[in-house]
Amino acid sequence: MEERKLRDGKEAMEREPHTPVTESLFARKSVRVFTGETISPAKKRLILEAACQAPSAGNQQLYTIIDVTDQALKDTLAVTCDNQPFIAKADMVLIFCADAQKWQDAYTAAGLSPRKPGAGDLFLAMEDSLIAAQNAVTAAQSLGIGSCYIGDILENCSRHRELLHLPEYVVPAAMVVFGYPTSQQEERKKPRRAELSHIVHENQYRRMPAEELEEMLKPQAGERPYKEWLDAFCRRKYMSDFSVEMSRSAREYLAPFLEDYRFDGCEFTEKE
């Protein structure tokens, strides 16, 4: 523990001055209340182009971005994504879909006989999608536009498949809502991050003992006793209905990528 503190101190002394990019990364926080001001088409285009500048595996851009412009669809997503009304009030709603379908379709259309997409293809497509999404978030931030990820897009697989017309090898990796922040949102304190010493492990993964885990998480508990806070957090975030539903839904998305499942056009069943 002592050794870690010394290392942290050294890191602090050795810290480089901020650049405009790092300053923007440190300043960025989620925005959930918007002024209602419209994002101009030119700014929107710049954000989308910036997303596509992200690196991608083999430059395949294994993602498709669904730009949700239909207010009725936004309203529905505000409900299906765990009842979060601010989704419907966002000027720009983008769904970054991990897309293992389009190359498959291109190979097939060209008369090739590609193997079916597997779990590795999905993981790569997820990576591509999330890197592109974060580029969009950062580009928006540089334009004074706030954003918030909505993890709940991973819930309700069948409903979202139907709503967004997702074929079997496409998975919504991330939804991000964008809009200009209200002054209250701008002034809101950014939640603190864990110390680097807990997050960065040298050369090998180091499983953290109970006392270090407590040291890492305790600042989040504030005035509350650590165990009481952790129990409430676990109930709210990990044991909650939305979290269980997300895992169920993720299994459904995963099924076509796993060979031991069969897809009959609308349902996935485990092969005997």
Ligand X SMILES: Cc1cc2nc3c(=O)[nH]c(=O)nc-3n(C[C@H](O)[C@H](O)[C@H](O)COP(=O)(O)O)c2cc1C
Q: Would you say 104 or 172 has its CB closer to ligand X? A: 172
Sole binder of ligand X in the list 150, 166, 246, 255 (CB under 6 A): 150
32 contributes a contact to ligand X by CB under 6 A: yes
Residue 30 interacts with ligand X (CB under 6 A): yes or no: yes
Tell me the residue nearest to ligand X as measured from the CB: 151
Of 262, 49, 59, 68, the closest CA to residue 174 belongs to 68
CA–CA distance from 232 to each of 11, 152, 209 (Å)?
Answer: 34, 20, 21
Interface stretch with ligand X, choices 29-37, 41-49, 98-106, 137-145 (CB under 6 A): 29-37
Nearer to ligand X, 101 or 134 (CB): 134
Q: Is 190 in the site for ligand X (CB under 6 A)?
A: yes
Q: Are 117 and 169 contacting, i.e. CB atoms less than 8 angstroms apart?
A: yes
Which of these ranges, 96-104, 112-120, 149-157, 179-187, lies near ligand X under the rule CB under 6 A?
149-157
For residues 175 and 93, the answer to whether their CB atoms sit within 8 Å is: yes
Q: Cβ contacts of residue 119 below 8 Å, gap of 6+?
A: 254, 257, 258
Strand partners, 101: none
Cβ–Cβ < 8 Å for 117, 257? yes
The least distance separating ligand X from the CB of residue 151, rounded to whole angstroms, comes to: 3
Provide the binding-site residues for ligand X, judged by CB under 6 A.
29-30, 32, 84, 148-152, 190-191
